[in-house]
Amino acid sequence: MNKILLVCLTIALVLLETLALSAQKKLNSNDTFIKIDNYLNEGTKNGFSGVIAVTIKGKTIINKGYGLANKKTQTANGPNTIFDIGSNTKQFTSTAILKLAEQAKVNLNDSLSKFFKNLPLDKQSITIHQLLTHTAGLEESIGNDYSSFGKLSEISEKDFFENLFESKLLSKPGEEYSYSNVGYSILGRIIELASEQPYEAFINEYLFKPAGMKQTGYLLPKWNIKQLSRGYNRNIIETEPTVTLYQEANGVNWHLKGNGGINSTQNDMILWHKALKSNKILSKESRNKFSIPFIPINPEKTHSYSYGWIVNNSISNALRLSHSGSNGTFWHTIIWYPKKDIYIVYATNANSSKVESIAYAVAKIVFDQNYIPEPIENNVYSFIMDYMKEYPTNKSNELIVLLKENHADDFTNSRTLNTVGNLLLRSNENLNWAVELFEMNVLLYPRDGNLWDSLGDGYKAIDSKEDAINSYKKAIELGYEESQEKLTELSKN
């Protein structure tokens, strides 16, 4: 064959193969979009509400919302809807610490005694590295983020850190993994002390502005209020956007600052990913620290904690960085395969156990064209609420029968009825049904002091003082000491 013809033929074959591969990639991308879209669209029929974004090698495969951000205004979820991202705030805090290390303002081996005076002896040697990796031995939290449903708890910076540093360590610093929100609150304060800037001001200047993120933060962004998502706890109880709570309180307390509660959009979180992988915010050397599996977090040692990320080699045999966050109502998940350049970010404003793993189901769709995820089902909490709207409390026995028939997997312990009852108390609605659920629960689990405590709360809510006192006494008898304060207060009155 003529050499020129052979060369031409070879070039033609290469071009055809390239075009075929390109077409296949486009087909696969389109197929991936369709499968994800169908999966989540079907889920909306059972109450799913949220957003998903997937980028592969810099190309956005899907960036779409499902369900409603606000049921009253019928505002749909979308790429610019603002969600509370919960503990994914920790990713910003860890990045800010690494930024300060690049600026030579902190060293990752610095101990707390460098930043805080008059520390108890057992806290003095705790290092920044140990705080970042949850190995400082600190408790998960001190008190609560919210003093009552829908309101931020009020605590001063002085009181928060005094209570925190006086608390007992769970283990010697550096020895064990123990997830700690307050550890990241300490990091947030270290950021302030080292930078001489408020926490949010620093991350806004050195993280969000370089990335182009304008709808991410606590109070500094000029929020598009029409895009603020309302929360629907278990898809049943409506709550205010957390940004609204911050604005009403004119601040964010240290229960949240540094460890949770930041709000963002899908579009901003895509910009965040682009800025990280292009080294716009951190050097490559600093960013690579996210991939170091510093401390195992499970007995099988398949997952480890790094700096604000969980590290493992997933079923796809690829390095995977991931993290989730939630305040009980909102849920937010990030999954990043840095070597494959695949990034998934997911949020929902109607959290329940049925939707927490959606991001991982989407990841399986991306990696396996033949994978068919289990349909998103209506959650057990919505089932109970729908039942209560239709039937009076004297039909409670029939409810139990239906739960065992239709939600057997979810109705295996006392948590379900207790959760719904407490949600009703917090929203101050349908209180007679709340008490009925608590009464059924203590019949099913009579040796659980926590349930008797909940029953006491229910009786108190309907002004049945004597029944409340007896319930609290029973809770104390069963070892639930938290009821003592409630009993003492109620007895005084």
Which pLDDT score is estimated for 28?
64
pLDDT in tens, 118-145: 999 999 999 999 999 999 999 998 876 6
Strand order in the sheet with 50-56: 59-66, 50-56, 342-348, 331-337, 319-326, 310-313, 304-305, 295-296
Under a CB-based contact definition with an 8 Å cutoff, are residues 345 and 269 in contact? yes
Which pLDDT score is estimated for 155?
87
Alpha carbon separation from 241 to 133, 224, 233, 330, 482 (Å, rounded): 30, 12, 12, 10, 30
List the structure tokens of 345.
């970010």
Under a CB-based contact definition with an 8 Å cutoff, are residues 64 and 82 in contact? no
CA angle (187, 190, 191) in 5-degree steps? 90
List the structure tokens of 227.
């895009």
Q: Which of 298, 317, 227, 309 is nearest to 276 (CA)?
A: 309
**Beta-carbon neighbour count of residue 450 at 10 Å?**
18
Which pLDDT score is estimated for 9?
31
Which pLDDT score is estimated for 315?
65
Which pLDDT score is estimated for 80?
98
Query: How many residues are listed for the chain in this entry?
Result: 493
Q: Which of 406, 422, 373, 273 is nearest to 37 (CA)?
A: 373
Which pLDDT score is estimated for 238?
86
More confident residue, 291 or 24: 291
What's the average model confidence in pLDDT over 30-49? 94
Q: Confidence class of residue 387 from pLDDT cuts 50, 70 and 90?
A: very high
Per-residue b/e over 93-107, b at no fewer than 16 CB within 10 Å? bbbbbbbbbeeebbe
pLDDT above 90 (res 492)? no
pLDDT above 80 (res 40)? yes
Amino acid at 274: K
Q: Which of 332, 365, 330 is nearest to 346 (CA)?
A: 332
Alpha carbon separation from 416 to 317, 331, 394, 409, 430 (Å, rounded): 36, 19, 19, 11, 17
pLDDT in tens, 78-112: 999 999 999 999 999 999 999 999 999 999 999 99
What's the average model confidence in pLDDT over 431-449? 97
Which pLDDT score is estimated for 453?
97
Rounded Cα distance, 237 and 14, in Å: 59
Rounded Cα distance, 318 and 339, in Å: 7
Residue with tokens 């809807």: 81
Which pLDDT score is estimated for 317?
79
What's the average model confidence in pLDDT over 3-27? 37
pLDDT in tens, 295-348: 999 998 999 999 999 999 766 678 999 999 999 899 999 999 999 999 999 999
Which pLDDT score is estimated for 144?
66
Which pLDDT score is estimated for 145?
65
More confident residue, 98 or 19: 98
In sequence order, the 6+-apart residues with CB closer than 8 A to the CB of 289 are 98, 306, 307
Amino acid at 282: L
Which pLDDT score is estimated for 429?
86
Torsion of CA 340, 373, 411, 435, to 10 degrees: 80
Which pLDDT score is estimated for 409?
86
Tell how far CA 342 is from the center of its chain.
Answer: 20
What stretches of 128-180 show up as alpha helix (H) in DSSP? Answer: 128-132, 157-166
What's the average model confidence in pLDDT over 228-236? 88
Q: Is 320 helix (H, G, I), strand (E, B) or coil?
A: strand
Q: Give the percent of the chain with pLDDT over 90.
A: 80
**Beta-carbon neighbour count of residue 328 at 10 Å?**
16
Q: Confidence class of residue 233 from pLDDT cuts 50, 70 and 90?
A: confident
Lowest mean pLDDT among 4-18, 125-139, 194-208, 228-242: 4-18
Residue with tokens 């075009």: 19
Which pLDDT score is estimated for 359?
97
List the structure tokens of 8.
């031409």
Q: Confidence class of residue 11 from pLDDT cuts 50, 70 and 90?
A: very low
Under a CB-based contact definition with an 8 Å cutoff, are residues 451 and 441 in contact? yes
CA angle (468, 426, 438) in 5-degree steps? 45
Kindly write down the DSSP assignment for every residue of 246-292, as one continuous string.
Answer: HHHHTS--TTTTTTS--EE-HHHHHHHHHHHHTTSSS-HHHHGGGG-
Helices 415-427 and 431-444, axial angle in degrees (round to 10)? 160
Amino acid at 492: K
Kindly write down the DSSP assignment for every residue of 413-450, as one continuous string.
Answer: STHHHHHHHHHHHHHT--HHHHHHHHHHHHHHSTT-HH
More confident residue, 484 or 377: 484
pLDDT above 60 (res 385)? yes
What's the average model confidence in pLDDT over 471-482? 96
Average pLDDT, the chain: 91
CA angle (270, 271, 272) in 5-degree steps? 90
Rounded Cα distance, 28 and 463, in Å: 61
Which pLDDT score is estimated for 64?
98
Kindly write down the DSSP assignment for every residue of 41-88, as one continuous string.
Answer: HHHHTTT--EEEEEEETTEEEEEEEESEEETTTTEEP-TT-BEE-GGG
What's the average model confidence in pLDDT over 405-416? 90
Q: Confidence class of residue 4 from pLDDT cuts 50, 70 and 90?
A: very low
